[in-house]
A and B are shown apart, each in its own frame.
Chain A
Amino acid sequence: MDSEQHYLFEARQIQALSLSVHIPLVCFGIAFPVLVLFAEWRYLRTGDDLYRVLAKRWSRIMLALFAVGVVTGTILSFELGVLWPQWIADFGNVFGLGFTLEGFSFFVEAIFIGIYAYGWERLPPRFHFACGIPVAIAGVAGSFFVISVNAWMNHPSGFTLRDGRAVDVHPWQALFANPLFFSEYIHMYFAAYIVCGFLMAGAYAWAFLRGRRGRYERTALSVSLGAASVAAPLQVVVGDWAARDVATYQPVKLAAMEGLATSTRGAAEHVLGWYNGHAVVWGVEIPRLLSLLAYHNPNATVQGLDVVPLGDQPPVNVVRLAFQTMVGIGTLLAVIGLVYLFLRLRPATRSRALPRWLLWAVLAAGPLSVVALIAGWITTEVGRQPWIVYDVMRVSSAVTGAGGIPVGYGTLSVVYVLLAVIVWAILRRLARVPLPDQFASAASGGAEGVIADGLCSRRVHPGRDGGLHAAGRGRLRRWPVDAAGGRPGRAQDQGRGQARDGTGVGGQPRLADLRARRVLDRIPGGIRVDRLDPGHPADGRGGRHHLPRRRLRAARPGHVTNR
C-alpha cells in the first residue's frame, strides 16, 4: 500500500510549514473580530470617538490579516489533496463534511468582513456593528469545523474499515460526537485570544516604551492585554483538561510527551531533560506527579511507549521538547497575565502607569505566544506519528506518489518569505497612518503639545532644490515648495551644520532653529504635517535614534484635523 515516495519527510515538513504559517492567522480570525467589536460597542455605548478610531484602525489590520489568511489557507487546503491524496480518497467521505461547512463559514466571513471594513461611516453605526457580528461568529465556526477534522484524525470513529477504506460512514457523529474534539477546540480558542492579545499588546507596549502613552495607546493596550491576560491563566486549566483527554484517548502520545518508556504505576513527571531511548536523563524528577495529573490519582498506572511496537512510536524528543516549550511559555504567559490583572484590579495600582519591566515582558510575550502555539500543534501532530488517522492509516500510506516535492518545498518557502515581507510592509503602513489630532500622543509627559502653527518637527530638512524633505530612516521624501521661491542656501547650511538636536536624534534640525531662521515660512499654508513629533528630545529617555516617518500632506481646505 505504501507508495514510492522518497521525500515523505519533506512532504511532512511542507505541511508543517504551511500549518505554522496559517495557524497564527487563525488566532486573529477567532479573537480579533471580538476585540474590534468590543471597541466599536464601547463607541456606540459612550459616543467616545477614541473607540471608533481604535475599532476602525484595528478593522484594517483585521482585514489585512484575513486576506493573508485566505492565501495561506488556500495553499493549505490544496496541500491536503496534493500531498496526501490517499487520505482524501479513503477517508474524505468521513471528514469532508467538516471542510464543506468551513467553506460556508469562510464565505460568510469574507462577505461581512468586506462590508465591515468598507462600511465605516457609510452605513448607520448600529447596522455597521451588526455586520461585524457574523465575522466574529464565522471566525469561531471556521476553526471549529477544521479542528473537528483534526480531532477526528486523532480519535477516528464513525465509520467501518473495509479494505483500507471507510465505509458505512456517519459523518456528523464522526466529527462532532468526538470526545477529544471539545478539549482540543477550547484549548485552541483560548490560545487564539492569548496569541492575538499578546501580539497586539506587544505593539502598544513597544509604543509605551518609546514614550507614546497617549490615550489611544493606553486604551488599545488595555483591550488587547486585558483579553490575553484573562485567557492565559484560564488556559492552564483548559490545557490540563486537554492533556487528560490525550491520556485517555491517545496514551502513546502522552507517553511521548512525557518520555515514559514503560508503563509505570505512580509515574513521575520530568521537567526538562532528554529522552535517551529508555528514560529521561538530566531532567528534574517529580515523583508520582504524572499519574496525579493524568488520572488524578498518584498511584495510577500510566501507559508507556512500550504498549506499541517501536515502529508505531512517535519521535519522543521532538514531541517532548515541543510539549515542554508550550507548557513553559504558557505558564510564563499566565504569570504575566496575572500580574497585569493584579495591577489593574487592585485599587492602589489601578490608575498607575504599568512598570517598564512588565511592558518588556508583554513585548516578549507576543512572539513567545506564537512559539507556544506552534509548539502545541507540533505536540499534537508529531505526537500522532506515524499515523495520519490514528491507529488506522499511516502517513506513509497517505502520501502522494508524485515527484517534485523538494521543488514544491523550495517554491513554497520563497512564497512564504515574500508573504511575510508583504505582511510586515502592510502592518507598518497601517501603523503609520496618522491618528486624528486629538488622539495623537505626545512624548511621555505629554508636555510637547500641539505646535500652534500645526507643523511638526518631524525631520524637516531644508532641501537642495528649494524644497523641504521629510525623511525617515535614511530615505528622503521630496516635497517641493516652489511657491515659496528662492533657494534656501543659508538655511541649508545651518540646518546641516549647527541646528541639530542635542540628544538622541541624530542630525535633526531643531524646530525652533528652523523657525528662527524662517525656513518654515517657506511652507505654503495649505500644507501641513500630520501629527506632532512624539519623540522630541525632551522625552528624556534618550533611546530614540530612529523616528517613525510621517507623511507630509496637503490639508483639505477647511479641515484642521485630518481623520
Chain B
Amino acid sequence: MALSSVLTPFSLGTVVGSIATGRVPVGNAAGSVITSWLNVPSVLIGVVAVAFSGYLAAVYLAADSVRGTDPGLTRAFRARALVAGVVSGAVALAGLLVMRHSGLNLTSGLALVMVAVSAVAGLATVALCWRSRFQLARLSAALAVAAVVAGWAAAQAPRMLPGLTVTQAAAGRSTLIALVIAVACGGVVLIPSLALLYTLFLRGRLDAPESAPATGAERVAAGGPDPHAPDTAPGPRTGGTARTTSTGGTVRTTSTAGRASRAWATVAVVGLLAGAGLLVFTDPVWLHGLGVAFFLACAVSTFRLAHDRDGR
C-alpha cells in the first residue's frame, strides 16, 4: 500500500519532468523508453511529486483528525505537516534550479508569479499549521501545489512537445466544443454529487458507528418502515391486500393479488410478442428502440411474477 502510494506520484512526476524538459519527441515511440524519464531532472520532479503528496496528505489529515477524539493524532499529523511542508519547499526549490538548467525556466514572466504565489502559500500553510488553523491550511496547501502546476504550464507554453505547440496538438473545433459541452454537463452532475459526498463525510454522517443504527423513531420520521425486532419471526408483512401470504406452507392469494398477477402476466406476454415482432420484423432504429422498451417491460413483469416474495 505504502509502496504504491509512493510509486504513483513518483511515476507521474517523472513523466511530467520528461515532458517539461523536452525529452519526449513527437512520433510513435520515438523517444527512449527508459532514459526519457529516468534521468536526474525527471527523477527530481518525481521526488517533488512525492513530497507534495505527503505534504497535502499530512495537512488534510491533520484537518480531518480534529473531528476525531484523539488529540494525539492531531499533534502527530501537525508535526508531519510541518516537516513535509519544509521538505516540500526545499525540494521544490532544488527542482526550480535544476529545471532552469534543463530547459524549463520558471523564473520569469507569469511562471515567476506563480512560483511566488506558491512560495507565499507554502509559507502561509506552515504558519497556519503551526497555529493549528488546519481548515485554512487546507486551502493554502492546495493553492501552493496548484500554483506550481500552473507555473509549469506558463513556463512551457506554447510548447507541448519539442516541435509541437498546444494549438497544433489540439483536436478540431467541433471536437473541442463537444468536449466543453460534455465537461459542462458532467460538471453539472458531478459537482452536486461531490458536494453531497463531502457534506456527508465532513459532517461525520458516514462515520457514525454502524452498531448504532437509526432508531425506529428516526426511521419512521424519515418515512422508512419500522424494522422487525430481532426476535420476531422472520417474514414479510402482510399489510396490503395485493400481497401473497403464506400459511403453513400453502399459498393463499387474495383476489386483488390474483388480478394484479393477471395484469403483470398480460404486460409480460404483450411485451414479449410486441418486442420480438418489432425487433425481428422491422428495420427503423426508433421501432427497434420501442421493441427494446417492450422487452424491458416483459422482463420486469416476468421477473416480478417469478420472484418468490416470501422466499419459499
Contacts and interface: CB of A to CB of B under 8 A. Distances in A.
Interface of A: 3, 42-50, 52, 85-86, 89, 92-94, 96-97, 100-101, 103-104, 107-108, 111-112, 114-115, 118-127, 134, 167-172, 179, 182-183, 186, 193, 215-216, 218-219, 222-223, 226-227, 229-231, 234, 237-238, 240-241, 296, 340-341, 344-345, 350-351, 400-404, 436-439, 556, 560-561, 563
B28 A86 contact: yes
Enumerate the 9 nearest inter-chain pairs by beta-carbon distance, A residue then B residue, closest first.
A124-B222, A104-B186, A121-B213, A125-B224, A47-B225, A93-B171, A402-B29, A219-B311, A401-B29
Contacts of A50: 234, 236, 311
Contacts of B249: 351
B101 interface: no
B76 interface: no
Given A47-B227, A104-B189, A231 B175 contact: no
28 contacts: A43-B225, A46-B309, A47-B227, A48-B234, A93-B171, A108-B190, A111-B193, A115-B196, A121-B210, A122-B206, A123-B205, A134-B193, A168-B174, A182-B288, A216-B311, A218-B311, A230-B303, A230-B306, A237-B280, A237-B295, A238-B295, A241-B279, A296-B280, A401-B28, A402-B29, A436-B230, A438-B234, A561-B230
A100 B312 contact: no
The dominant DSSP class at the A interface is helix
A97 B194 contact: no
A209 B211 CA distance: 33
A353 B149 CA distance: 64
A48 B288 contact: no
A145 B86 CA distance: 45
A179 B285 contact: yes
A446 to B, nearest CB: 12
Contacts of B272: 234
Contact of B172 (A124, A169, A172, A402): A169
Contacts of A121: 210, 213-214
A297 B185 CA distance: 45
A127 B276 contact: no
A79 B92 CA distance: 32
Contacts, number: 212
B22 to A, nearest CB: 19
Interface in B185-201: 185-186, 189-190, 193-194, 196-197, 200
Interface in B1-49: 28-30, 33
A265 B210 CA distance: 68
Interface string B221-241: 011111110110111110100
B131 interface: no
Nearest to A84: B28
A298 to B, nearest CB: 15
Nearest to A218: B311
Given A42-B309, A100-B179, A240-B280, A234 B186 contact: no
